[in-house]
Structure 1
Amino acid sequence: MVTSSDTHRSPDATPDATPSATPRATPGAPALLHGTPVVPGVAHGPALVARAEVDPAAVAAFGAGGFAGEEEALAAYDAAVDAVAKGFEHKAGRASGAAAEVLLASAGLTRDKGLRSAVRKQLRTGADLLAGVGAGVEQFVSVFTSMGGLMAERVTDLHDIERRLVARLVGEPEPGVPNPSRPSVLVAEDLAPSDTAGLDPEVVLALVTERGGPTSHTAIIARQLGIPCVVGTAGATGIAGGTALLVDGTAGTVEVEPEESLARQRVEADRAMRAVLATWGGPGATADGTPVKLLANVADGESARAATQAPVEGVGLFRTELCFLNRRDEPSVEEQAEIYAGVLEPFVGQGGHVVVRTLDAGSDKPIAFATHEGEENPALGVRGLRLSFDNPGLLERQLDAIASAAERTGAEAWVMAPMVATVAEAAEFAGQVRRHGLRAGVMVEVPSAALLAHRMLEVVDFLSIGTNDLTQYTMAADRMATDLAHLTDPWQPAVLQLIAITAEAGRQAGKPVGVCGEAAADPLLACALVGMGVTSLSMAAAAVRPVGARLSTVSIETCEEAAEAALSASDPRAARDAVLALLGG
């Protein structure tokens, strides 16, 4: 996999996008942009600036579309919806893991009946079809934005869907990221899942976005692909296409037109380091032998099989909702068992276990047959385990299927529930799981669960910290709000304090406490987490070697010092800098 390149712009290079105002350097020094680091790595190459809009001339030529009436216009809308949704589904079929999950969610959102109703309402007021689509989408954007939390994350998806629907209606190709003619650094205001999931890491050297946070869809998929990534980078879209960039995914910096020889040195140093990382083969442990289980996050059988090619000891997060997202009706126990067996089977005989998360639906992942409609704030509403409160059969049937798959394959399956807030919820869930002969745990995503971790561990067998939601709920900050990206950073001291409380509770109880959020994929933060007492780290398979290699160079004592340095810092950047200074490079 390419993670860096010597590619640079020659004086007569042809830009890959229309030039715009470029951030200018002070004399003798490169312009330096700062963002939130997401995927480590150094890349040097020309900017490919994505401004994926439908051709305005085609839109103008389309006019009102010449439809005879509302029904004819709606028929054209339905045809466009079908084409766009099938496009998402086709891409999902070629993807796996988080990429497939978000693409299927986009397909479902495209077909949403509420969106169609909003468009119809606009047509009845006399609006033409294109205006109706725009107004209908904007209505959803306003609602999702006001909800905040995970629902606001779907705004990027909605705008992507609108562009694709308009393109279909006016007879133009669907917009998207342009194909690079040479290895390039992709720069965009933001990237929709459909854009990010299709990227080729052989030609896209790095990602730089002006919007988004460390837990956005762009960030999650970039980790899966192993592409150096910096998000929330103010001024990024002011860079002209073809401009040479040096992207540092560890420091979160983007240098504009860097000094060429120095850039090459940085790239070569990164390449040499990655060559060393590629030789690391596990198992996870500190330099002085303290074991740390390194696990994979998966969403289906394909991603599970791919994960076995990495030095992992099992699965720390199996997202079961993938098999529900595109369904109008609940899959049968037999159907679910077949899907789950496909994830469990690759890990049979490897000495590891698979942690299965029960249905994490609601909020930004609506399930037609399960989630509640009309919630004022779905991010704080009936989602995750809470869906079983008035629909207990949904959870019971899923546990039946997991138990059946475990028995069929002989794999060791652990089961955990998302969005657990009280000890009573944890105890009731654990009882149900154990009646199926399985090991029970809960996710720590709600601050109350972290604060009560010692009591949670009295009723469950393990805890798994979901840092994405824990960060969002702790900091009361929408993880897609660029202006708040500094708050949704998992290095926030308050978030680290909750993780430390949870890990210490596990140490005292002698029970495992893992991290399965995206924070586990950060090699620097991983050392601090282990120093706090975290016993396992689960991440995209592509991130395992960098994390494992970094851990193998430090003692548990150094990890504990890193934890103290991070916990004592005043803000995320200070925490990163302190740990980097302690661990060196």
Structure 2
Amino acid sequence: MCGFTLESVDLSMLSCNLNHMSTPFVTETQVLTGVPVVAGVAYAPVIRPGARPSVPPTEAAEIEEAARPAEVTRMKAAAAAVAERLRDRAGHATGVASEVLATTAALAQDRAWLGDAEKRITAGTPAEQAVGGAIAKIADALAKAGDLMAERVTDLRDVRDRVLAQLAGLPEPGVPVPDVPSVLCAEDLAPADTAGLDPALVVALATTLGGPTSHTAIIARQLGIPCVVAVEGLDAVAAGVPVMVDGSLGTVTVSPDAGEAQRAVARAREDAERIALWTGPGATVDGHRVAVLANVQDGAAARSASQTPAEGVGLFRTELCFLNRDTEPSVREQAEIYAEVLTAFEGRKVVIRTLDAGSDKPLKFAGHPDEANPALGVRGVRISFGNPGLLTRQLESIASAAQATGSDPWVMAPMIATPDEAKNFAAEARSFGLTPGVMIEIPAAALLANHILEHVDFLSIGTNDLAQYTMAADRMSAELATLTDPWQPGVLALVELAARAGAAVGKPVGVCGEAAADPLLACVLVGMGVTSLSAAATAVPGVGAALAEVTLDRCRAAAAAVVQTASAADARSAALAVLGAKTG
């Protein structure tokens, strides 16, 4: 199936390792189902994250008053050490991995939990209990808030465990480095765990929790390894048990027949070799052009993506230079960062998304209010409503970078809800000589795409948030992962509506959400009228190779079949029936 990846695994060696492991195997083959995230097939023994330090009971002997200042210092030093290690790892990583590590480092020194922990210690509570209690209090509040804020619960607990380990002088918790290629299975994975994985040793991911747009899923796409999330029954699979992960079907087969598993992996290898031969440009087999682009977040990621067949950048996330800062970066500093990406793709298309912060990505200097429902609050372009200079200075920075590099970047605003918002953004972008567009992430924007296109030159559909807002389902929730599946017919109906609006006036409409990384769905999107697809750089060859094997008429027939379905599963089946297994 197009999009399959295969890590460098010696199958004969792997079979030998599986047959001689001391861990008891599940004797009967079981097929567990979840939500498919990254296509591919992998067959290997299970590894699980190492044991984390136990959270101390809330009751503890009160420390003497004279010892309390030193105890506060010890607690703060432990948090600082954890943050420093995470920042160091962020500095050696790129793209999504760098961002999530930097975000977790900032969380390790967040004033909210540190202040609460300090108060507890000052009242006589030992550091370990103070850390556990302070983080539990905030985590409970975030869990009750729901939506994107609930994702921070996993992050906070990861920070707690790392700080507790530091206080106890124990090794930092996390994912063990396996001796042989292995499948990492867990209830959930913190960003700091997934960000440092070696795809040569961790050949697939499977989690009990998480959704198709969780950190685990996004980093799995960046690594190019098969991934299935929200897998029911996965917790019962012990370390050492051989499993086969099929990231296209969304299955984890426990104790599969070794011969069948090896044949499935071999077929995946053949597909991977075929995909590797694709060098672009993006087009269907009958010559209909579709730009296949990459999503990037910084200069390093852009330089890496430029080594793939990606024809340009369809989504440059600019948040990285704003997050975890006490003050806004200067115009000059921003311009230097943007210029790195423009230089990496010199002479090619680069679409820059203006600052998409707020909600789960707060800015320290933007004066965010406390919100009962942050995902429906002040985020994306809405931040500029209360901080107008923030957007103006960013556009000035982009224009400066464009002039310095001789580039002509496009710019787009996130979280546009009305034609008036699009009109105002377009006017300001054009005042700096930039080509304006907007993100379609809110159902209202999709429904009014024809009116929005009266003001802007292009649209880019962010399917991650569009699915969340269309289905009224937290995209990070494992319980609701089937609702936020981009194959949901309700979501695809809005995508088709926006694409048709663009075709009617001859303006491009791209998709830059994770849906664009699915080779089968990519063909459907093209059939709906989408003109460009932007995905993680590792997904670019698979998407391009899939398009190169189908005609535009077959894509259109698949799209017509999909919009007649009533469930995500039926939509996938309808697309496969028209396009065939080669594009799955």
Normalising by the smaller structure, the TM-score range is over 0.9
Partners of 1:466 and 1:440 in 2: CA distance:
16
Partners of 1:64 and 1:181 in 2: CA distance:
43
Report the CA distance between 1:178 and its aligned residue: 0.7
TM-score by length of 2: 0.95
Report the CA distance between 1:65 and its aligned residue: 9.8
Q: Are residues 1:573 and 2:574 paired?
A: no
Alignment of 1:311-460 (within 5 A): 311-349=309-347, 352-460=348-456
1:290 is matched by which residue type in structure 2?
Answer: H
Give the percent of matched residue pairs that are identical in Structure 1 and Structure 2. Answer: 55
Q: Are residues 1:114 and 2:112 paired?
A: yes
Q: Are residues 1:560 and 2:556 paired?
A: yes
Partners of 1:132 and 1:12 in 2: CA distance:
45
Is the partner of 1:484 in helix, strand or coil? coil
Is the Cα contact below 8 Å between 1:167 and 1:175 reproduced in 2?
yes
Alignment of 1:50-89 (within 5 A): 50-54=49-53, 68-89=66-87
Partners of 2:54 and 2:445 in 1: CA distance:
50
Is the partner of 1:290 in helix, strand or coil? coil
Partners of 1:142 and 1:371 in 2: CA distance:
24
Report the CA distance between 1:186 and its aligned residue: 0.8
Worse-matched range after superposition: 558-567 or 543-552: 558-567
What is residue 146 of structure 1 aligned with on the other side? Answer: 144
2:389 is matched by which residue type in structure 1?
Answer: G
Alignment of 1:263-302 (within 5 A): 263-302=261-300
Is the partner of 1:495 in helix, strand or coil? helix
Partners of 2:113 and 2:562 in 1: CA distance:
45
Q: Report how many aligned residue pairs link the two structures.
A: 571
1:97 equivalent among 95, 101, 111:
95
Q: Are residues 1:168 and 2:172 paired?
A: no
Is the Cα contact below 8 Å between 2:48 and 2:239 reproduced in 1?
yes
Is the partner of 2:433 in helix, strand or coil? coil
Report the CA distance between 1:200 and its aligned residue: 0.5
Partners of 1:70 and 1:491 in 2: CA distance:
56
Is the Cα contact below 8 Å between 2:45 and 2:243 reproduced in 1?
yes
Is the partner of 1:325 in helix, strand or coil? coil
Is the partner of 1:10 in helix, strand or coil? helix
Is the Cα contact below 8 Å between 1:3 and 1:42 reproduced in 2?
no
Report the CA distance between 1:367 and its aligned residue: 1.2
Is the partner of 2:289 in helix, strand or coil? coil
What is residue 233 of structure 1 aligned with on the other side? Answer: 231
1:184 is matched by which residue type in structure 2?
Answer: S
1:31 is matched by which residue type in structure 2?
Answer: Q
Report the CA distance between 1:576 and its aligned residue: 1.4
What is residue 18 of structure 2 aligned with on the other side? Answer: 10
Is the Cα contact below 8 Å between 1:2 and 1:202 reproduced in 2?
no
What is residue 494 of structure 2 aligned with on the other side? Answer: 498
What is residue 527 of structure 1 aligned with on the other side? Answer: 523
Is the Cα contact below 8 Å between 1:24 and 1:31 reproduced in 2?
no
Partners of 2:6 and 2:63 in 1: CA distance:
49
Partners of 1:235 and 1:250 in 2: CA distance:
19
Report the CA distance between 1:52 and its aligned residue: 3.7
1:258 is matched by which residue type in structure 2?
Answer: P
Superposition RMSD in Å: 1.8
Is the partner of 2:303 in helix, strand or coil? helix
Is the Cα contact below 8 Å between 2:284 and 2:290 reproduced in 1?
yes
Partners of 2:50 and 2:387 in 1: CA distance:
45
Report the CA distance between 1:120 and its aligned residue: 2.7
Is the partner of 2:364 in helix, strand or coil? coil
Is the partner of 1:185 in helix, strand or coil? strand
What is residue 183 of structure 1 aligned with on the other side? Answer: 181
* Unmatched runs of 5 consecutive residues or more in structure 1: none
Q: Are residues 1:474 and 2:446 paired?
A: no
Is the Cα contact below 8 Å between 1:466 and 1:517 reproduced in 2?
yes
Is the partner of 2:361 in helix, strand or coil? coil
Is the Cα contact below 8 Å between 2:6 and 2:272 reproduced in 1?
no
Partners of 2:270 and 2:484 in 1: CA distance:
32
What is residue 48 of structure 2 aligned with on the other side? Answer: 49
Worse-matched range after superposition: 387-396 or 371-380: 371-380
List per-residue Cα deviations over 1:390-436 (Å, max 9, x = no partner): 21111111111000000100112001111111111110000000000
Instruction: Identify if the C-alpha distance between structure 1 residues 122 and 567 changes in structure 2 by more than 3 Å, giving closer, same or farther.
Output: farther
Is the partner of 1:441 in helix, strand or coil? strand
Is the Cα contact below 8 Å between 1:347 and 1:411 reproduced in 2?
no
1:291 is matched by which residue type in structure 2?
Answer: R
* Unmatched runs of 5 consecutive residues or more in structure 2: none
Instruction: Identify if the C-alpha distance between structure 1 residues 265 and 11 changes in structure 2 by more than 3 Å, giving closer, same or farther.
Output: closer
Is the Cα contact below 8 Å between 2:496 and 2:528 reproduced in 1?
yes
Partners of 1:90 and 1:52 in 2: CA distance:
23
Worse-matched range after superposition: 442-451 or 373-382: 373-382
